[in-house]
Structure 1
Amino acid sequence: MSRSPSDRTRLIRSATRKPTEGRRPVNPPIERASTLLNPSASTLRDPSLGPVYGIDGMTVQHELRALIAEMEGAIDAWLTPTGLAAVTIPLLALTRPGDTVVATDAAYGPSRRFLDRHMAARGVTTRYHPADATTDQIIGAMDGAKLLLIESPASLTFEMIDVPAVAAAAREKGVLTVMDNTWAAGLAFRPLAHGVDVSVQAISKYAAGHSDLLMGAVAVSDARIGKAIFNTIEDMGWHTAPDEAWLALRGLRTLPLRMNEHARSALQVAAWLQDRPEVARVLYPPLPGSVGHDLWARDYAGAAGLMGVVFNGGSEADAEALLDALTLFGLGYSWGGFESLATHETSQMTLRRHAPALKGPLIRLHIGLEDPADLMADLDQALTGWRSRSYPA
């Protein structure tokens, strides 16, 4: 009886395909080239022979694009120099002066900056809905808009959106949808299969998996939308180098195994933190009782290791002291690599028009591939110091 291959198999099988002739390496070679030589003058612009110029991408870029498209269920996918570029390219490609974009008030900070600074200066207005808006409120906010930018879970506070319902309503209203799906990495959730027009993600994070490259990806299921995105990439010259593409391709092969481990460890840490008296709330959709858990359980096949932790009182100085006390968590931005990270995010709430009421500082944790028991022991010793500062005897 035949069966469809699992994600684990699909992301590896192209590496083990039999060569058509001779032998070949498992991984494609890195071809560093700007100029590509031709057999004759008549073939200089013949696309049937492959890339005309190095900017078009060589073997490794094309294989990575094909693998991302397969993972996303897309007809095509493109690589971008950063995850932020993966968000901004569709915004540029699909809107014009006079248009309105709708986005969550919890939008990723650099995406929000691009909307408020670059897009606003070019006549595109952004309307922000509250991060905790109901599905009906989000649908109502789309009236007269050209594009809806979706983040689910939302940045920092991890609110969930009913993506299938919102995407269906957007299609009825003639509103295009773009979803930043970095948290799910194109694996735990597939936006295109739920009616979204464009799925974007930061390949820098889970797909690469080793905190050593910058890259994004844009995937589509509609050729017309894809053409607009391709034209924008071509016109702006936003392309990627073969070395980074090779690293991303290598990371993508093991993505399902790594994400499962991130999610397993993160759920343990989240449940442990939720029972701590120092913690007011853990913002992690896979955790029962957390924000958006029901939607996550209904629509998602997995999870990231990224969460928010709202403390029960305490000052900003206490939060910084807590981070300084950690020994296994690196203090740095981004996430999705093998290592655990911690950042202090309360100040970013000031960017929001509908800032949430928090009982104390907001810390963002990325749970890496270390032993979760060791991570909890590290958090425990740091929290001991928190108690002595915040709740003196």
Structure 2
Amino acid sequence: MKDDTKLAAAGRPHHRPAHPVNPPVERASTYLFPTYDDYLEGAKSITYGRLGTPTHRALEEAVTALEGGFETRLAPSGLQACNAAILAFVATGDHILMTDAAYDPTRKFCEKFLKRFGVETTFYDPLASKEEVAALMRPNTKVVFAESPGSLTFEVQDLPMLAEAAHAGGAKLVADNTWSGGYYCKPIELGADVSIQAGTKYLAGHADCLIGTITSADEQTAKKIYYALLQLGSNVSADDAYLTLRGMRTLSTRLSRHQESTEELIKFFKKRDEIDRILHPALKSCPGHAIWKRDFSGASGLFGVVMKPAPLPALKAFFNALKLFGMGFSWGGFESLCLHVRPEQYRTATEWREEGHVLRIHAGLEDIDDLKADLERAFAAMHAALK
């Protein structure tokens, strides 16, 4: 079954003769068992609201089908999905090998929070070779963490190589798959043990809920993920699970539009004298482009541009003139976004040498001509501020 059909069919209720197309929102804390035998058998089914309702199960089923894994569990945010997936495999005295291009809050969780409990983290170049990764592995390395493309700078990582290196050292490969929406890349097929998404982004797709997904490749891994989430007391509202599943029904259609608009915006930026470099995996100039061509079936709507050096007042004028591109955190919704980011603040294993301001851009679903006009207006304001 192809992904578009999975997105339309997965997680739909078929347990009664007449049923709704989408599972309804089932909100509950307490579930009642009709008999004592049912109570004893409860662990095999729905038992308690925090452990999931049929609404949650429907979403988990759909994400598992999309990711091609054994089982999916939900977390209340993408960040907790990352953190719980790491916690599932480490203890005092263990070591984590993490890409230097990881999402900064995940970095902080490892290098500051987990450090308090005797867990050490080493950051590696996202473009490191097999030999370089192997040299960083230790006998106590339990997790190799990848994010492909990298946060803010969009380097594409070689997941099959990382999986081989991790497994050779007895570690798990945990991959953040948010950028692809689980549609354009399949980390588990490429050897990852765990594939994570901030479902807040493309899965939900409408900028109105927070959720994370953790998909395991096998039963043993899934049990450890479930235990970690259980001990953390993680809970996702049934409403957010419903919104995410509903969003998934249109995932491929939305991603196609995001990709088309991104291609047009890249053409636009290539013609602008203010832009020095474009950061997008589909471009030959992007680090890891050949890996992207091998492992991805498409590109989403998030990318970066490096501006030629300009004073801060000019940058402020640029942002203040934008009307359609919003200035805000997160991405993956229907709205276009533009944010000033600073990769140099978050690197330790590599060095960011670009002198110009870096803009992280998400191409939304607005008309592309209107988006270009919005950027034209912003660049005009930028030049006016330089006079």
Q: How does the TM-score come out when normalised to structure 1?
A: 0.93
Where does residue 146 of structure 1 map in the other structure? 142
- Residues 133 and 165, structure 2, Cα contact 8 Å, conserved in 1: no
Query: Partners of 1:154 and 1:15 in 2: how far apart?
Result: 30
Summarize the alignment of residues 288-327 of structure 1 with structure 2, pairs less than 5 Å apart.
288-327=284-323
Where does residue 56 of structure 1 map in the other structure? 51
Which of the residues 227, 234, 240 maps onto 1:231? 227
Cα displacement (A) at 1:16: 6.6
Letter in 2 for 1:23: A
Cα displacement (A) at 1:54: 1.4
Letter in 2 for 1:321: A
Where does residue 118 of structure 1 map in the other structure? 113
Letter in 2 for 1:278: E
Secondary structure class of the residue paired with 1:23? coil
Where does residue 263 of structure 1 map in the other structure? 259
Summarize the alignment of residues 150-161 of structure 1 with structure 2, pairs less than 5 Å apart.
150-161=146-157
Letter in 2 for 1:220: S
- Residues 29 and 60, structure 1, Cα contact 8 Å, conserved in 2: yes
Change (3 A) 1:315 1:105: farther
Secondary structure class of the residue paired with 2:73? strand
Q: Percent identity?
A: 37
Summarize the alignment of residues 276-287 of structure 1 with structure 2, pairs less than 5 Å apart.
276-287=272-283
Matched, 1:253 2:249: yes
Query: Partners of 1:308 and 1:154 in 2: how far apart?
Result: 11
Secondary structure class of the residue paired with 2:144? strand
Letter in 1 for 2:53: M
Cα displacement (A) at 1:39: 1.2
Cα displacement (A) at 1:387: 3.0
Letter in 2 for 1:233: L
Secondary structure class of the residue paired with 1:342? strand
Where does residue 349 of structure 1 map in the other structure? 344
- Residues 196 and 214, structure 2, Cα contact 8 Å, conserved in 1: yes
Query: Partners of 1:321 and 1:292 in 2: how far apart?
Result: 34
Letter in 1 for 2:283: L
Q: Write out the 4+ residue segments of structure 1 that deviate beyond 6 Å after TM superposition.
A: none
Which of the residues 75, 83, 86 maps onto 1:88? 83
Cα displacement (A) at 1:42: 4.0
Cα displacement (A) at 1:92: 0.7
Cα displacement (A) at 1:25: 0.9
Letter in 2 for 1:141: L
- Residues 321 and 378, structure 2, Cα contact 8 Å, conserved in 1: yes
- Residues 46 and 52, structure 1, Cα contact 8 Å, conserved in 2: no
Which of the residues 101, 107, 113 maps onto 2:102? 107
Where does residue 47 of structure 1 map in the other structure? 42
Where does residue 24 of structure 2 map in the other structure? 29
RMSD: 1.8
CA deviation vs aligned residue, 1:204-245 (integer Å, no higher than 9, x gap): 000000000000000011211111111111111112111110
For structure 2, the residue ranges without an aligned partner over 5 or more in a row are none
Query: Partners of 1:131 and 1:23 in 2: how far apart?
Result: 51
- Residues 322 and 382, structure 1, Cα contact 8 Å, conserved in 2: yes
Cα displacement (A) at 1:132: 4.3
Matched, 1:380 2:376: yes
- Residues 270 and 287, structure 1, Cα contact 8 Å, conserved in 2: no
Deviates more, 1:304-313 or 1:377-386: 377-386
- Residues 94 and 118, structure 2, Cα contact 8 Å, conserved in 1: yes
- Residues 317 and 385, structure 2, Cα contact 8 Å, conserved in 1: no
Secondary structure class of the residue paired with 2:179? coil
Deviates more, 1:294-303 or 1:208-217: 294-303
Letter in 1 for 2:268: W
Cα displacement (A) at 1:143: 3.9
- Residues 135 and 162, structure 1, Cα contact 8 Å, conserved in 2: no
- Residues 328 and 375, structure 1, Cα contact 8 Å, conserved in 2: yes
Secondary structure class of the residue paired with 2:254? helix
Change (3 A) 1:31 1:107: same
Cα displacement (A) at 1:295: 1.5
Letter in 2 for 1:28: P
Which of the residues 360, 365, 370 maps onto 2:361? 365
Where does residue 69 of structure 1 map in the other structure? 64
Residue correspondences, number: 385
For structure 1, the residue ranges without an aligned partner over 5 or more in a row are none
Secondary structure class of the residue paired with 1:183? helix
Query: Partners of 1:115 and 1:316 in 2: how far apart?
Result: 32
Query: Partners of 1:41 and 1:164 in 2: how far apart?
Result: 49
Letter in 2 for 1:322: F
- Residues 127 and 287, structure 2, Cα contact 8 Å, conserved in 1: no
Summarize the alignment of residues 206-225 of structure 1 with structure 2, pairs less than 5 Å apart.
206-225=202-221
Deviates more, 1:283-292 or 1:153-162: 283-292
Deviates more, 1:41-50 or 1:368-377: 41-50
Cα displacement (A) at 1:121: 0.6
Query: Partners of 1:194 and 1:153 in 2: how far apart?
Result: 15
Q: How does the TM-score come out when normalised to structure 2?
A: 0.95
Where does residue 198 of structure 1 map in the other structure? 194
